Chains A and B, each alone.
Chain A
Amino acid sequence: MSNLIEVRNVSKAFGGVVANDSISIDVPEGQITGLIGPNGSGKTTLFNSIVGYHPIDSGSIRFKGEEISNYKVQQIARLGMLRTFQQTRIYANMNCIDNMLISVPHRNATFFDMFKPYPHELYDKAESLLEFVGLYTKRKLPSGDLSFGQQKLLEFAMALMNEPEVLLLDEPTAGINPTLINGLIDRLKRANTEFGITLFVIEHNMRVIMNMADTIYCLAHGELLASGKPADIQNDQRVIDAYLGAH
């Protein structure tokens, strides 16, 4: 099994604060990889580095063997690596269907593709994906009117519309009603199995990540603390200490 994302010795500092210190992580194709760690441990910084949001200080990031650490956000997105945001980001003044339509892949878009209409198949696809996340009845509402949890689901559906190979999810269950979380876990798993999308997930909810992930990496203070199967991580004394603040 090959690695879709290979992070090697990536360091990133903001002024004197070392957010990531020589981190190495593998995201194997077709699997669900988890990334955990206490607040401020550098999880989101690592995500931002991978998707090209800011340059890294040193190290290498490869996607399908291609070095991407110098690419811009849009180039990386068009390669098939997409991220969702911790603070949900949707196009608030557009309705859900339009949010979905504009999320089609732009991989091979030529200049004149800008002026093409949307074919009916894309509407059907947008509607079926909205149905998949349970937002079908809301499809014509301005997405800004949706609740935070629903916006999160919409953002997830938009990501699926883009047909990425790997999806980086930054706390997909944060701020979601606990009763909806099971449904969301189920959908994330189905995205992985049915749509064949590799997932790389930051998550604070231990029940969720232990339930979902094949492999888990744990960061603390910008360093990689531990990695392994969920069961191993759960019993790792260093991880427990990091979370309980034993430092």
Chain B
Amino acid sequence: MTSVTEEKDREVATTAEPTARRVFTFNDYMMFGAILLFGILGPILFPNYTFQIAVLWLMVLFAQTWDVMGGQMGYNSLGNIFFFGAGMYICAVTQIGLFTDVGAYTSPSDPGTFNFTPDQYYIGVAVGLVFAAIGSALLAAVLGWIVFGLRGPYFAIGTLGIALAAGELIGAWEWVGAGSGFPIPVYPGSGDGKSLFYYALCFGAAIATFLFLKWLYSTRFGLAINAIRDDEEKAEAMGIHTMRHKTAAWMISAFFLGISGGLFGNMTGFIEPLEVAFPVATFGIFMVAMALLGGKGTIWGPVLGAILFHILKEATWIYFLGWQWVALGVIIIINIVFFQQGIVGWLQERYPHWFGIEVEARSPGAKEAAE
């Protein structure tokens, strides 16, 4: 490398290109526009699928929040579904507890006889979602303090244990209906009205998660959790507050997952611990599979992965009924064995310039010359 090219390079750098990292690029606007368009037109064009598309947005949220830890920070949690269930229960208990006695409402002998007025319903949902978000985040702080000593596969198994244990514990807790669950307050309006109401909330939650993470990754936080992913020991040796970052990252995941849980509980109308609130083997694994399919550690990977996965899942349920789990398993195996970097990860390797990543010209001996 001669000093002339270095000078030239320097000039280009100072004049043509802003050094500060930009939050949005042109590609981001295009993608985001497409998502917005689909999100708004979806329930209008396919009114019969409003519930399914709403679940799709929750899937997008799942994959994104999993990726904060799994992709950006390198901590593969298999128990993030815990915060989904925690949020669901916190939200439901708040909705009921604000206006009547929870223990009586959830008791199997007298299930859901209390009638909520529309005002009570909407206030309950609003306050419940806020509590669900904050409560889940606080739970993440406490659990993080316990499990962040674990690394790699031990962290994955430890978090999986938390989610499994939570389902069993709730199943033994009479006050919240124990294993038989309880009905959520009924939406004061038509079925279509309810679908659209929760559709809007789910869509909004997914968009809010995306925008928040997009901003988050543009701050020092983004680089810090990437550093923890690449070499946590080095990050410690450089004085980064690793525990603080890890805890905050999990709290952020839990915050949005708590909201998604509160929403999903209300959409299904009836919650119980094992199948609805802590579905470790379905949603709990899906969120990992979706992030891996799209490309973990990228901003768009989890979003695309979730959309594709949800469509594939619905297709296998329709066309391979009876074999749907096998088909889904095959997809996951192909993804893990042949395609670990996921779709966006693969694109990033193939066309790095699309993502603003510079790579060295791969001429033979280039590295030796650089020495």
Contacts and interface: CB of A to CB of B under 8 A. Distances in A.
Interface string B193-236: 00000000000000000000000101111011011011101111
A74 B240 contact: yes
Interface residues of B, number: 42
Interface in A155-172: 158, 162
A193 B236 CA distance: 27
Contact of B216 (A115, A118, A180): A115
B358 interface: yes
Contacts of A82: 237-239
Given A89-B234, A114-B245, A106 B5 contact: no
A115 B20 CA distance: 15
A92 B230 contact: yes
Interface in B295-325: 297
A59 to B, nearest CB: 22
B221 A115 contact: yes
A111 interface: yes
A210 interface: no
Given A114-B248, A147-B367, A141 B238 contact: no
Nearest to A162: B238
A245 interface: no
A192 interface: no
Interface in B141-175: none
B231 A91 contact: yes
Given A118-B21, A180-B371, A74 B242 contact: yes
Contacts of B242: 74
B359 A77 contact: no
A142 B9 CA distance: 18
Nearest to B352: A142
Given A118-B20, A141-B360, A93 B238 contact: no
Interface stretch (A16-24, A38-46, A95-103, A219-227): A95-103
Contacts of A107: 239
Contacts of A106: 238-241
Contact of A94 (B9, B219, B227): B227
B177 to A, nearest CB: 38
A113 B221 CA distance: 9
Interface in A198-215: none
Contacts of A177: 371
Given A140-B358, A141-B360, A147-B371, A51 B237 contact: yes
Interface residues of A, number: 49
Interface string B9-27: 1100100000111000000
Choose among A103, A105, A145 the residue with the greatest number of B CB atoms under 10 Å from its CB.
A103
A167 B153 CA distance: 34
B45 interface: no
A118 B226 CA distance: 15
B216 A142 contact: no
Contacts of B224: 102, 114
Contact of B241 (A109, A140, A141): A109
A67 B28 CA distance: 51
B233 A89 contact: yes
A183 B370 CA distance: 15
A150 interface: yes
A102 B227 contact: yes
B30 interface: no
Contacts of B13: 127
Contacts of B357: 95, 140, 142
A247 to B, nearest CB: 34
B1 interface: yes
A85 B236 CA distance: 13
Interface in B217-275: 218-221, 223-224, 226-227, 229-231, 233-242, 244-245, 248
Interface string B339-367: 00000000000000000011110000001
Nearest to B219: A115
Contacts of B9: 136-137
B226 A98 contact: yes
B6 interface: yes
Contacts of A8: none
Contacts of B226: 91, 93-94, 98, 102
5 contacts: A77-B239, A85-B234, A102-B220, A140-B357, A177-B371
